[in-house]
Amino acid sequence: MEVSFISVLISVFTLVVVAVPGFILGKMKMFSEGAKKTLSTFLLFICQPFLTFMSFQKAGYSSAIGINMLIVAGVTALAHIILIAIMELACKKWSKDEKVRILRYASIFGNCGFMGIPFLQTLFGGSGEVLIYGAVVIAIFNLFAWTIGIYQITGDKKFISVKKAILNPATSALIVGLIVFFALKTPIKDVALPNTTLDIFLEKMVMSGNLLADMVTPLGMTILGLNLAEMKFKEVFLNPRAYLGAFVKLVFMPLVVILIFLVFKKVDVLVKYTVFFTLSMPAATNTIMFAEQYGGDGREASSSVLLSTLLSVLTISLMFLLFKVILGV
pLDDT, residue 158, reads 72
Write the pLDDT tens digit of every residue in 237-278: 888 999 999 999 999 999 999 999 999 988 999 999 999 999
Predicted confidence at residue 155, as pLDDT, reads 75
Query: What count of other Cβ atoms lies within 10 Å of the Cβ of residue 291?
Result: 25
- Tell me the per-residue pLDDT of 269-299, one tens digit each, with 9 for 90 and over: 999 999 999 999 999 888 887 787 776 777 8
Most confident of 110-119, 162-171, 277-286: 277-286
- Torsion sign, CA atoms 35, 39, 41, 42: positive
CA 121, 125, 126, 130 dihedral sign is negative
The mean per-residue pLDDT over the stretch 192-205 comes to 89
Per-residue DSSP letters for 311-324?
Answer: HHHHHHHHHHHHHH
Q: Nearest to residue 186, comparing CAs of 280, 89, 65, 294?
A: 65
Q: Stretch 9-36: mean pLDDT, rounded? A: 88
Question: What percentage of the chain exceeds 70 in pLDDT?
Answer: 98
Average pLDDT over residues 174-178: 88
Nearest-angstrom CA–CA distance, 329 and 325: 7
* Rounded average pLDDT over 58-75: 89
Higher pLDDT, 98 or 27: 27
Written as one letter, the residue type at 268 is D
Which distant-in-sequence residues (6+ apart) come within 8 Å of 51 by Cβ? 113, 117, 212, 213, 216
DSSP annotation string for 40-59 = HHHIIIIIHHHHHHHHTTSS
Residues with Cβ within 8 Å of residue 218, at least 6 apart in sequence: 18
Q: Residue 271 CB: number of other CB atoms within 10 A? A: 21
Contact 132, 150 (CB under 8 A): no
Q: How far is CA 179 from CA 56, 72, 110, 264, in A?
A: 10, 18, 26, 29
pLDDT score recorded for residue 148: 87
126: pLDDT confidence band, cut at 50, 70 and 90? Answer: low
| Total count of residues recorded for the chain | 329
Q: Which residue has the higher pLDDT, 103 or 34?
A: 103
The shares of helix, strand and coil residues in the chain, as percent rounded to the nearest 5, are 80, 0, 20
Domain with 191 in it: 5-327
Residue 75 has pLDDT above 90, yes or no: yes
Mean pLDDT computed over 224-239 = 83
Average pLDDT over residues 64-92: 93
Q: Which CATH number covers residue 259?
A: 1.20.1530.20
pLDDT of residue 127: 65
Average pLDDT of the segment spanning 177-202 = 87
pLDDT of 1 above 70: no
Read off the pLDDT of each residue in 205-221 and give the average, rounded to a whole number: 89
Number of domains present in the structure of the chain? 1
Give the integer Cα–Cα distance in Å for 168 and 61. 25
Q: Which pLDDT belongs to residue 293?
A: 73
pTM of the model: 0.89
